[in-house]
Amino acid sequence: MNTQFYMMLMKSFYRLLLLFAFSSMALQMAQAQGSLIRKLPMYLNTAADTMAFWEHRNYAYQDAITYYSIETAMEVKDRVHRLDLSNDSLVSLGDSIREFRHLFFLNLENNYLKELPDGLFDLPYLEELRLSNNQLQYLPEKIKGLRNLRRLYIDGNELRMLPNNLAEIRKLAFIAAENNQLQSIPETLGKLKRLRSLLLDKNQLQYLPETLSGASALEVLAIDDNRLKKLPEALIYLKKLTFLFAAHNELQELPPQIGSSRNLVKLCVEHNQLQRLPESIGQLQKLELLRLEHNQLKQLPKNFGQLKALRKLYLDSNQLTVLPINFGELRALENLYLSDNQLTSLPSGIGNCKELRELFLNNNAMTSLPDSMGTLYQLEELYMNDNQIANLPSSFGGLKNLKLLFLTNNKINRLSEDLDCSGWKRLSAIYLENNAFQKLPKALETAPQLQTLYLDGNLISEVNDSIIIKMPKIEHISLNDNQLSELPDNMGSWPIRHLALERNGIMDLPESIRYFKNLELLDLAGNKITQKRLKKIQENIASEFVMAKQPILTGLREQIKPTKEEEKALRLRKKEKRLEAKRKAKEEERKRKEAQREWERNRGRR
């Protein structure tokens, strides 16, 4: 008996000891993080209130039902945590909204509200308030009553200013105020120590207060489409700043010490008036996206190659004449946009950018390309239209992942015999319009996946039949505006679906045209084929082809009246094209919406 009593006494002692230990740990944690009471809502005065707050909060964000009618919600007003009245054509909101004392989420987007009732600011638990796309011209000073508000959406209104006491909502972490008429923002916003995202796009801001640097938790600052001429120097003190969007302003320079913002991942300052970049920009070691297109840059800093994490770089539509020697040190680069500059060459180190997948060099003054480009093994798309390139390096055959090659409007008259295109195992289309080719490039016959070949506007006077036959995947050949007068006798064996021969000097087509197996479209407008011969060609084609697959001879239809079978086949093809166009439009819309969602995620909006 004494032994049992002794054991029970020891167990009770150990329980008390453990309770004391945990209490001490909790007290130490509270002291280390600040008073525990400070972390609870200021209006909660009793333990019961505190417990109710956390119970409501967990329920609101995990299991709560969203009510979409204020009448339905009023029947259970004490249990309503989420209320969505968006798109309800509301002109006003009754003061009875204050009766929903336990609301955590209130959505009033896309209505016609011009003012807000006082009762809205007596909701002690409210954490997210959505007022986007209404007709609000001001926010009342009473908004400070929403002491637990964390996310505030006021974009798409007619606001000219924000209340100074907005900073008294200490927990505010997200403000979306885009597309208003704001000319300035309160200097007190810098007091919001928890503010992580501030979206101010499409306003009329002419400056940002230096005090904004006090918002030490700020990660996303979006100020696109304003009238800013400079950014505050104090931005460098926003050590957590990750995304800075300042496009479509009037910026002439960036803060000299912008390199101190070491956590920047995305910096977008396109469509401004920047003439130079600060040397410190090379210190942005985490920068992945840099948008500088449509500025007035003439050169880049010497240490530009130190941006080791840079993946996407937009420099098109500037005044660049040369790139830094260490440009090739951008080894993480995947997308490079250099179109519409004044570049005459690329640094040899460009071949070190092994991750490069897209390279845009359109509309420069390039005369040659470095051999090292042949080592860009991940390159998929290469755009070099509107330059003065005369030939391609033989090393180009090493571009094993190349899919699209654009070389329109250059001075190329042939492809080197040393160029082994068999390495282009994924090349599907090449565009060589408006160059100086006199015959089909023989090197292309070894491109195993080539499907589309454009050679419009060259000096080609004859077609080497053997080259086309050796292209197993070729489907589309365009030879418009050349000097062709005749075509090969056995062209009917070509495996093509679309052949464009407009505006040449062709007087006849060979009899073998009737043997085309896959031909769907033959463009012959602007040639010299006689009326009699046109009719004979039409009869030959009609006698050999199944009507549903009979090719359309554009340029001949206005001279030869189609048969009923041809008209039926044409209608079927037009119907198929319409359906295909609808499918493509639907897919484009889906991609657009997905891109919009991605954009919003990047902005920290959702």
Q: Is the pLDDT of residue 12 over 80?
A: no
What average pLDDT does the chain have?
85
The confidence band for 43, taking pLDDT boundaries of 50, 70 and 90, is very low
Q: Which domains does the chain have, with CATH numbers?
A: 391-563 (3.80.10.10)
**pLDDT in the model for residue 605:** 45
Q: Is the pLDDT of residue 20 over 70?
A: no
Structure tokens belonging to residue 51: 């417990």
Highest mean pLDDT among 334-343, 396-405, 504-513: 334-343
Q: Which residue has the higher pLDDT, 516 or 167?
A: 167
Can you give the three-state secondary structure of 458-515, one letter per residue?
CCCCCCCHHHHHCCCCCCEEECCCCCCCCCCCCHHHCCCCEEECCCCCCCCCCHHHHH
Q: Which residue has the higher pLDDT, 229 or 604?
A: 229
Mean local confidence (pLDDT), 453-473? 90
**pLDDT in the model for residue 549:** 39
Q: Is the pLDDT of residue 389 over 70?
A: yes
Task: Report the first-to-last Cα separation within the chain, whole angstroms.
Answer: 66
C-beta separation of 119 from 76 below 8 A: no
Please state, in angstroms and rounded to a whole number, the distance separating the CA atoms of residues 149 and 127.
Answer: 4
C-beta separation of 143 from 121 below 8 A: yes
Please state, in angstroms and rounded to a whole number, the distance separating the CA atoms of residues 428 and 412.
Answer: 20
**pLDDT in the model for residue 562:** 52
Q: Is the pLDDT of residue 19 over 70?
A: no
**pLDDT in the model for residue 421:** 81
Single-letter code of the amino acid located at 515: Y
pLDDT digits (tens, 9 = 90+) for 524-571: 888 888 777 777 776 666 544 433 334 555 544 444 445 566 566 666
Backbone phi, psi, residue 534, to 5°: -60, -45
Q: Is the pLDDT of residue 201 over 60?
A: yes
Q: How many CB atoms lie within 10 A of CB 263?
A: 15
Helix (H, G, I), strand (E, B) or coil at 268: strand
Q: Which residue has the higher pLDDT, 34 or 22?
A: 22
Single-letter code of the amino acid located at 67: Y
Its pTM stands at 0.80
Q: Which residue has the higher pLDDT, 107 or 52?
A: 107
Q: Is the pLDDT of residue 390 over 90?
A: yes
The confidence band for 425, taking pLDDT boundaries of 50, 70 and 90, is confident
**pLDDT in the model for residue 596:** 63
Single-letter code of the amino acid located at 201: D
Please state, in angstroms and rounded to a whole number, the distance separating the CA atoms of residues 26 and 7.
Answer: 29
Please state, in angstroms and rounded to a whole number, the distance separating the CA atoms of residues 415 and 431.
Answer: 13
C-beta separation of 239 from 214 below 8 A: no
pLDDT digits (tens, 9 = 90+) for 260-277: 999 999 999 999 999 999
Any residues with CB less than 8 A from the CB of 131 and at least 6 apart, and which?
108, 109, 113, 116, 152, 153, 154, 157
**pLDDT in the model for residue 585:** 72
pLDDT digits (tens, 9 = 90+) for 465-502: 888 888 889 999 999 999 999 999 888 888 888 999 99
The confidence band for 576, taking pLDDT boundaries of 50, 70 and 90, is confident
Mean local confidence (pLDDT), 216-241? 95
Structure tokens belonging to residue 66: 């969203």
Any residues with CB less than 8 A from the CB of 25 and at least 6 apart, and which?
none
Please state, in angstroms and rounded to a whole number, the distance separating the CA atoms of residues 42 and 27.
Answer: 20
Q: Which residue has the higher pLDDT, 492 or 125?
A: 125
- For the chain, what percent of residues have pLDDT higher than 70? 80
Please state, in angstroms and rounded to a whole number, the distance separating the CA atoms of residues 356 and 335.
Answer: 6
**pLDDT in the model for residue 545:** 42
Q: Is the pLDDT of residue 423 over 70?
A: yes
Sign of CA dihedral 24, 28, 33, 34: positive
**pLDDT in the model for residue 530:** 76
Q: Which residue has the higher pLDDT, 45 or 434?
A: 434
Q: Is the pLDDT of residue 200 over 60?
A: yes
